[in-house]
Copies of this chain bind each other. A is one copy, B any other.
Amino acid sequence: MNLRSLGEFGLIDRIAGRVAAGTGIIRGIGDDAAAVEPSPGTVQLLTSDMLLEGVHFDLTFTSPEALGRKSLAVNLSDMAAMGGRSRHFLLSLAIPPSVSLEFLDPFIGGLLDMASCHAVSLVGGDTCASRSGLVISITLVGEQLPERVVYRQGARPGDLVCVTGFLGDSALGLAELRAGLRETPAISRHLEPSPRCNEGLMLAEAGLPTAMIDVSDGLLADLGHILECSGVGAKVFLDRLPLSEYFSAEAGRLVSEPIQLALAGGEDYELLFSLPRQYLPQARQLLSARGTGCAVIGEVTEEAGLHVTAPDGSSYQPAGLGFSHF
């Protein structure tokens, strides 16, 4: 069986046949639109990410399963950063002649596996042919009580600047892939990020963060978004950035200034949030119950601008702020 003989509607049926039952779905795949029931009293949270072959991923680096998981993970991470509960998603796929069913089947498998882990359901989308590379566009719908949603605005002077997990591993993994390495801990973090869904939800439902974002463009760029939206500044201390053991041991072998990977590498998919100081013990407890670290990397300031302090107390000028297309 190949894609051409299966056809567009055959492919849709093949995907639909693998989708597990979900909640709140009145009509899933197979109509002009999906129909879903919002939970009473919630606001709906909507986020989209598009991934292009040759821009966001390289099929010589990633397995189809890992690509499927990551395609959904980057959207789940956005939802986590709002403190939302992810519920349903739409998948649009543009498939070039070079991509076979032998690729698509495990790709969908990885995607639905990630969906199942986070209790979200595929309810619709679009499939078409592509004359160039594979294009994956996902829209994720989640929900939360209005008073529990956490925006980028809301950071206040005196709040701590906190981040979950470790920074820089994903960028190190990409550098390793480009250098010809395969199967290192950092490469796993790059190809298969774990979105902090439960962490975002728990922090939001406990009412702890004043602002939150996920680190996708890079720590400095994403912190910049929070500061800009909140109308505040921040100071960040380089020696407080959470770095994994693997990163500390290996990054220096491959790149001349490893800290740049942690500051601006991007694709960490960790949660960056501002937190009133008195909530730190509670936040740490919530996160450690999930085995997730919480590093305090700085403090929000009334004075605008982002100041980075080197370990010797001097002011550090980062080489770049993070990833931007074009």
A residues with a Cβ closer than 8 A to B are 3-4, 6-9, 11, 26-27, 30-38, 40, 42-50, 52, 54-56, 78-79, 81-82, 84, 88, 90, 92-95, 123-133, 135, 137, 139-142, 146, 149, 151-152, 212-214, 229, 324-326
Q: Are B326 and A26 in contact (CB under 8 A)?
A: no
A8 touches B95 (CB 8 A): no
Contact B133 A55 (CB under 8 A): no
Q: How far is the CA of A149 from the CA of B137 in the complex (A)?
A: 26
By a CB distance below 8 angstroms, the chain B residues around A135 are 50, 52, 94, 135, 137
Q: State whether B129 touches A35 (Cβ < 8 A).
A: no
Query: Known contacts A7-B324, A31-B229, A55-B130; can you find 5 more A-B pairs with CB under 8 A?
Result: A47-B90, A49-B92, A50-B126, A52-B135, A95-B325
* Inter-chain contact B48/A126, CB cutoff 8 Å: yes
Specify which chain B residues have a CB less than 8 angstroms from the CB of A131 in the assembled complex.
52, 54-55, 132-133
- Chain B residues near A54 (CB, 8 Å)? 131-132
From B3, B52, B81, give the contact of A128 (CB < 8 A): B52
Please pick, from B37, B52, B128, B324, the residue contacting A130 in the complex, using a CB distance under 8 A: B52
Distance in Å: Cβ of A56 to nearest Cβ of chain B: 7
Cα(A39)–Cα(B191), bound, Å: 39
Instruction: Point out the residue from B3, B82, B326 that lies within 8 Å of A4, measured CB to CB.
Output: B326
Q: How far is the CA of A27 from the CA of B151 in the complex (A)?
A: 8
Q: CB distance B55 to A128 under 8 Å?
A: yes
Task: Provide the residues of chain B in CB contact with A34, threshold 8 Å.
Answer: 45-47
Assess whether A92 is in contact with B137, with CB atoms less than 8 Å apart.
Answer: yes
Instruction: Please indicate which of the listed interface residues A47, A50, A78, A326 has the most CB atoms of chain B within 10 Å of its own CB.
Output: A326
| Of B6, B30, B43, B49, the contact of A35 (CB 8 Å cutoff) | B43
> Closest CB-CB distance, A89 to chain B, in whole Å?
9
Q: A213 with B44: in contact, given A50-B137, A52-B128, A131-B52 (CB under 8 Å)?
A: no
Pairwise interchain contact A36-B32, C-beta atoms closer than 8 A: no
Given contact pairs A8-B326, A33-B142, A82-B32, A48 touches B132 in the complex (Cβ within 8 A): no
Interface pair A90/B48, CB less than 8 Å apart: yes
Residue in A6, A42, A126, A141 with the greatest tally of chain B CB atoms within 10 Å: A126
Q: Which residues of B contact A32 (CB under 8 A)?
A: 47, 78-79, 81-82, 152, 212-214
A196 CB → nearest B CB, Å: 12
Contacts of A55 in B (CB 8 A): 94, 128-131
Whether B48 and A92, one on each chain, are in contact in the complex, defined by CB atoms closer than 8 angstroms, is: yes
A324 touches B9 (CB 8 A): yes
A326 contacts B6, C-beta separation under 8 Å: yes
Q: How far is the CA of A259 from the CA of B182 in the complex (A)?
A: 57
Evaluate whether A47 and B30 lie within 8 angstroms (CB atoms) in the complex, with A52-B135, A130-B55 already known. Answer: no
Q: A7-B324, A54-B131, A55-B131 are in contact. Are A35 and B31 (CB under 8 A)?
A: no
**Docked complex Cα distance between A30 and B33 (Å):** 26
Cross-chain contact B124 with A46 (CB below 8 angstroms): yes
Q: A123 and B46 in contact (CB under 8 A), knowing A142-B33, A324-B9?
A: yes
